[in-house]
A and B are shown apart, each in its own frame.
Chain A
Amino acid sequence: DQQVKQNSPSLSVQEGRISILNCDYTNSMFDYFLWYKKYPAEGPTFLISISSIKDKNEDGRFTVFLNKSAKHLSLHIVPSQPGDSAVYFCAAQQTGANNLFFGTGTRLTVIP
């Protein structure tokens, strides 16, 4: 039972434009959400996170939006750069638990 879902397996965006990666979750107990970036043959690296008490968190070119009522979050990258090309995983966590539930990932390709 996949509690965190990323329905778009891939996304291609022109350099300089905005990349929007989406993530949905089913467990209403999740209250902390993270985005990880992963290059081939490497482990995921942390990108940005958001607590359920917020609806937006921004860090440079990366912004994560959270819509709790829709159980939906999105990652915006603007402007997109070729170096952003990677697989992006969203993950969710619940208070008191350290394990993360991951989505299946979205492969982002930024075209120069």
Chain B
Amino acid sequence: GAVVSQHPSWVICKSGTSVKIECRSLDFQATTMFWYRQFPKQSLMLMATSNEGSKATYEQGVEKDKFLINHASLTLSTLTVTSAHPEDSSFYICSAPENLAVSYNEQFFGPGTRLTVL
């Protein structure tokens, strides 16, 4: 199957700083990527849909000014957590469908990024 990578896999930062997480599709082009967040013992929750060349679409309750998404190329989407606070500590995962032309398609997930804000 298709491969999606994420970087970094693990990051610790001080409260108030910004953290950038990269999501790359390695062997296919992804015009759309999804960003999820998972808190302990909870399900993956969709945060936003990243669209190449246009603005991201955010789910209800997700602050677009806090979670900046940039999808500058067909293989790279970035999520920047601005002015991070301890409550932003979570596991962030991106995914990409390999072929949007297919009505239903399995999404390929990155390995995730564990963010800890001190």
Query: Residues of A with Cβ closer than 8 Å to B?
Result: 2, 4, 9, 32, 34, 36, 41-46, 49, 51, 89, 93, 95-96, 98-105
CA distance A89 to B44 in the complex (A): 9
CB within 8 Å for A105 and B43 given contacts A46-B1, A98-B34: yes
CA distance A100 to B105 in the complex (A): 10
Those 9 A-B pairs whose CB atoms lie nearest each other, nearest first: A43-B109, A46-B106, A102-B43, A102-B44, A104-B43, A32-B104, A99-B46, A43-B111, A44-B109
Q: Is the CB of B41 within 8 A of A104?
A: yes
Residue of chain B at shortest CB distance from A34: B106
Q: Is the CB of B34 within 8 A of A4?
A: no
A to B contact number (C-beta, < 8 Å): 61
Q: Is the CB of B104 within 8 A of A51?
A: yes
Residue of chain A at shortest CB distance from B46: A99
Q: Is the CB of A49 within 8 A of B104?
A: yes
CA distance A2 to B21 in the complex (A): 27
Q: Is the CB of B42 within 8 A of A104?
A: yes
Residue of chain A at shortest CB distance from B104: A32
CA distance A110 to B45 in the complex (A): 27
Q: Is the CB of A93 within 8 A of B111?
A: no
Q: How far is the CB of A72 from chain B (nearest CB, A)?
A: 17
